[in-house]
Structure 1
Amino acid sequence: MPMSQSFQDRLFPIVEKIAEHYGTPFHIYDETGIRETGANLKKAFAGIDGFREYFAVKALPNKRILQIMQEMGFGFDCSSIPELIMSRQVGGRGEDIMFTSNNTSREEFLFAEQDGGCILNLDDITLIDKVPNFPELVCFRYNPGPKRTGNVIIGNPVEAKYGVTHDQVVDAYRRARARGASRFGLHTMVASNELDYTYMVETARMVLEIAEMVESELGIRFEFVNIGGGFGIPYKPEQSPLDLGAMSGEITALFDSFRERHGYAPRMVMESGRYITGPHGCLVTTAINHKDIYRKYIGVDACMSSLMRPALYDAYHHISVVGKEHLPKSEVCDVVGSLCENNDKFAVQRELPPIQEGDLLAIHDSGAHGHAMGFQYNGRLRPKELLLSTDGTVELIRRAETVEDYFATQDYRQDVFIPAG
């Protein structure tokens, strides 16, 4: 189900005091839930030697959250210079960081090799000759094309801009070796928010088969394979959670079988983001208006600049009206923000308890791809982020944007250029 009952039990009795102290809207994350999920993931895959999670920084790019990941022994999956900086600021170094970018610039390659470097995960065969200083350890992102089907979020692999094709993959490693690489990894990412665990099992099977193929062609041995992220969470109450136990058992068996055939097995890594933090966050917002026209609308003080998944993906996020969780859901309404866009809605024709102005609404599962996907359209600013710590205290881990922030990029030294013509 959405947002764990234990998180609700910790948060809802104190959320009015939190709102009174900090003001709304805010995203709040549950340290206890994040750490429990991380521990469960490590336990599930303990049977694969060298297993490691590389947290997908894009899901929740906050230094305080990354500090928790570092304390759990996780690495960091980065795709931009700011994500590299943030990961290094919390102690990530060298092979703690996997840099999986696409359409990568020379500037990014040069930055990635600084401060101890990283695991360079190349997205295209043409980039081999564009890496300024080729590293000893290199990885390629594999796109299976028509050999696999994607899902609704990540799309059809044939149409995806990511990765090297099946026909290119052997040549990619051959050319990387010619440039000086002597250590190798293999990566793929073919699903997003997938709840069918068998899809992940087949992904693990696929990368191991590709590793075998490349090894047979080139004689290279892979140090690791990265099955990507994509572990789903149940946003809707009627959905069942991902069967982590069954999935890890079947994937571990695949690695055991590989070891029996080859006398070794590569390490397995993954880059979950949503699965680690998604259910352990919520957006708390206050009902400030109500409107009855052709539909009933409840206006809140957050808008899709705080959480754009419903507008972008038509995604469902469960909503609790704090203090009214057990009341009948007797009204049907749209829960909306203030943007001049009609898709600025957190819920459409949702059955909810009667909502009065001043009520607090908790929009579930905002712990991944929530604040991170925010924007400033219409001059609506991104909210603060809070952490509900394991000791019960609440910590501000990102302040809200201000009007001064909004205008900061328009405060610059004048630069007028008149091209010769």
Structure 2
Amino acid sequence: MKTPFVTKAQLDAITARYPTPFHIYDEAGIRENARRLKAAFAWNPGFREYFAVKATPTPAILKLLHEEGCGCDCSSLTELMLARRCGVTGEEIMFSSNNTSDDEFRLARELGAIINLDDLTLVDALAGAVDHIPEKICCRFNPGGVFTLAQTREGFQVMDNPGDAKYGMTRAQIAQAFTRLAAMGVREFGIHAFLASNTLSNEYYPALARILFRLAVELRDETGVQISFINLSGGVGVPYRPEQPENNIAAIGQGVREAYEEILTPAGMGDVALYTELGRFMLAPYGHLITRAVRKKHIYKEYIGVDACACDLMRPAMYGAYHHITVSGKEDAPCDHKYDVVGSLCENNDKFAVDRMLPKIDMGDLLVIHDTGAHGHSMGYNYNGKLRSAELLLHQDGSVELIRRAETPDDYFATLVW
């Protein structure tokens, strides 16, 4: 059972002021979760979370997380600009990009960001783009093959295919990159890797940590460089379905600590800082897409048409992803009606739910689509001339703030040349 963080009474008051559809975020939940993460890794003095800006590139959210000690994981020129405008600069920024342009390298260098190189060829590209190679730099590792995590105590298995991913360097390439960068004047090195997405297992991060910790010792011994940090990246997931288990971030932190003390500490590397780049885990459960039922249709199935569409939340259309739906005010009503909940795009995959058992939906009912705080509004687009929705922040005192207005037709036409 998933319970919205906003009540029907609250939504009735909010929608009287802000028309649907809109995304709304829970400040209290975001802050509490950031503090849980920090506490889980407090044993590592250099720990820092670099929030994945791509997940929710909204200034109010980035500033809120910055207040909780989080930096920004940026992957483009405009994300770097956004971080700077939010007051995040220097080593509070991790710049992890691929197919990186010279302009992106130059701005990252200007801001003092930690640059994470995705490919061996980018060593020379960076050297050609900036006046001076930074003394602290990171390289992204791709071990290839298939990453499999054995059956866990939660009953879930994790498997992904790094060998098919476009990111990162091979084992030989990262050693070569370290050697070449050291010759160029780099003094501090970091290692980064991402092996699996949205894992629901407390074992994923410790398993990844062991891979990277062993690699760090090997590269230190092989190249002689100083490895000062290891970035575990993202991949810690959230339960989109009510029956799925939640990750226990305290247990995850303890598992990583055990790997650290087993591998790094005996190797004389007990001062290595750990970084994370979590987006989904940090924000997804603390965002809802609020939409209103506006049409119903009966042909071969029962359809409920809402005023949101895939342009407001792409994940169900793009991945077939499940997002739980609550009919506001009918939380305790029996789920005895089967519906497809659909938007109005000229695409048959514009469906938030297929054959979903829900309470009887009446026109005007407000639907809460759960877990949209990450990769929700940020993946919006303008197909069919749809306009991107507003974003609201529910503050801890119960007040609501507009943090991004809805687009207007003037916005849509602003970039056109007639």
CA distance in 1, matches of 2:387, 2:49: 32
Unaligned runs of 5+ in 1: 413-421
Structure 2 match to 1:50:
46
Farther-moved stretch of structure 1 (159-168 vs 121-130): 159-168
1:221 aligned to which of 226, 236, 246: 226
Q: Name the CA shift for 1:300/1:153 in 2 (closer, same or farther; >3 Å).
A: farther
User: Which residue of the other structure, out of 83, 89, 100, is the alignment partner of 2:85?
Assistant: 89
Cα 1:210/1:407, change in 2 over 3 Å: same
Q: Distance in 1 between matches of 2:354 and 2:288?
A: 18
Please, which of 223, 231, 235 is the counterpart of residue 230 of structure 1? 235
Distance in structure 2 (CA, Å) of the matches to 1:54 and 1:236: 26
TM-score between the two structures when normalised by the length of structure 1: 0.94
SS in 1 for 2:169: coil
**Partner residue in 2 for 1:202:** 207
- The letter of the residue matching 1:268 is L
Q: Give 1:152 deviation, angstroms.
A: 11
Amino acid at match of 1:314: G
AA of the residue aligned to 2:412: Y
Residue 103 of structure 1 is matched in structure 2 by 99
- In structure 2, runs of 5+ residues without a counterpart are 150-155
Please, which of 13, 20, 23 is the counterpart of residue 16 of structure 2?
Answer: 20
Which residue number in structure 2 is paired with residue 129 of structure 1?
Answer: 124
Greater alpha carbon shift after TM alignment, 218-227 vs 359-368? 218-227
CA RMSD of superposed structures (Å): 1.7
User: 1:285 and 1:198 mapped to 2: Cα distance?
Assistant: 36
Q: Please say if 1:176 is aligned against 2:181.
A: yes
* Residues in 2 aligned to 1:364 and 1:232: alpha-carbon distance in whole angstroms: 15
Q: 1:189 aligns with which of 194, 206, 210?
A: 194
Aligned to 1:268: 274
1:350 counterpart = 2:356:
yes
Tell me the alpha carbon deviations over residues 253-298 of structure 1, each in whole angstroms, 9 at most, x when there is no partner. 2222321331533100000011111000000000000000000000
The alpha-carbon deviation at position 14 of structure 1 amounts to 0.6
Deviates more, 1:221-230 or 1:146-155: 146-155
Contact kept in structure 1, 2:49 and 2:276, CA below 8 Å: yes
Q: Residue 35 of structure 2 is aligned with which of 34, 39, 43?
A: 39
1:315-367: CA deviations, max 9, x gaps?
Answer: 00000000001000111010000000000000000000000110000000000
Q: How many residues align?
A: 407
Bigger Cα displacement from structure 2, 207-216 vs 403-412:
403-412
List 4+ stretches of structure 1 deviating above 4 A: 149-155
With structure 2 as the length reference, what TM-score do the two structures score? 0.94
Structure 2 counterpart SS, 1:242:
coil
**Residue 89 of structure 1, CA deviation:** 1.1
- Residue 144 in structure 1 maps to residue 149 in structure 2: no
Q: Please tell me whether the aligned partners of residues 148 and 158 of structure 2 are also in contact (alpha carbons under 8 angstroms).
A: no
Q: Does 1:324 align with 2:330?
A: yes
**Contact kept? 1:48, 1:255, Cα under 8 Å:** no
How far has the Cα of 1:117 moved from its partner?
2.0
